[in-house]
Amino acid sequence: MARRDLVADLRDVRVRVRKEAIREVALKRVRSAANEVALRLRDDSPRVRDLACWALGTMGTRAHAARIARRLRDPDGWTRCHAAEALGWLRARRFAPTIARLLADHNWLVRGHAVLALGDLRSLRHGRRIAEMLDDPHPGVRAPAAMALAMLGRRHRLPEIVRLLDSPRSLTGAVTALNILRDHPLYRKLRSRRIRAAQGDTLRSLLARAGVRFGATRAGRRWLGRPFMKYRAVAGYDIYGILWDVAADFGPGRMGYVVRKGRFVIADMDEAVAELSRDAYSSRSM
């Protein structure tokens, strides 16, 4: 679609058309239309505002970080979620204190996105506050809190993260966090390598596109060829975020993975939990 047509659609009176145009701009990285997308941050429709936050974050348009930050106070919960998420992707550290205020938000989705954004920002000054979120009443906050602590390299929080392995709804986040901590240099190397999922992608094709070494246990081989269904939601994630979404797509507690000597090994969740929990208490491997 030509830029002229995209701009016209971004200004269309129909919400559905504006939303599709924003997705098109983000997924095709039409940076010349970013200013027009930024205008949609003040759209009357909350669904357009939250999608505009996501799109600007996906495209890496740091010039609009201040505009996105204003949406952290949006009355719509999803818009606050995606504003925090986008600022994390953009590494807009100056807005970390404002994002940290969302950790007290009444909406658990907002708290979860905010704590993960602080991890993306490597906000060490908020490390203690992030750790407190491991005791949040909602598992959808505890899991991203574990990941955020891992992003900060907080190994002394291992016992608290391992504890989340006993919670089925926090399990995938805890496994992701333990794998990040298991090989933090690898995480630092890969964290800026964004990949995008497309319709028809399998776990094998996503790992190959990420450019990482990978394999599978005997039980984990069955997951490599499975089609990944949530392709529309995955644009610009790193491999750890992709694996989290893939595991959730296949069903909580079914697929897991472990990082072994720079190699991603796909396994059944029971295998992954057994190895990661054992190694978490081993001073030799962690």
Single pTM value for the model: 0.89
- The reported pLDDT for the residue numbered 167 is 87
Nearest 5°: CA angle at 102, between 100 and 104? 100
- The reported pLDDT for the residue numbered 1 is 55
Q: What is the DSSP letter of 215?
A: E
Q: Which helix (H) or strand (E) holds 165?
A: none
CA 240 centroid distance within chain: 8
User: Please, which contacts does 153-159 make with residues 24 or more away whose CB atoms are closer than 8 Å?
Assistant: 153/181, 153/184, 154/127, 155/181, 155/286, 157/131, 158/280, 158/281, 158/286, 159/280
Strand partners, 215: 265
- The reported pLDDT for the residue numbered 107 is 98
Q: Is residue 128 exposed (0-12), middle (13-18) or buried (19+ Cβ within 10 Å)?
A: exposed
Q: What is the mean pLDDT of each run of 10 residues along the chain (286 residues)?
A: 78 94 88 94 96 92 96 98 95 96 98 96 94 94 95 90 89 93 92 79 90 95 83 65 83 89 95 91 53
CA 266 centroid distance within chain: 19
Q: What is the DSSP letter of 138?
A: S
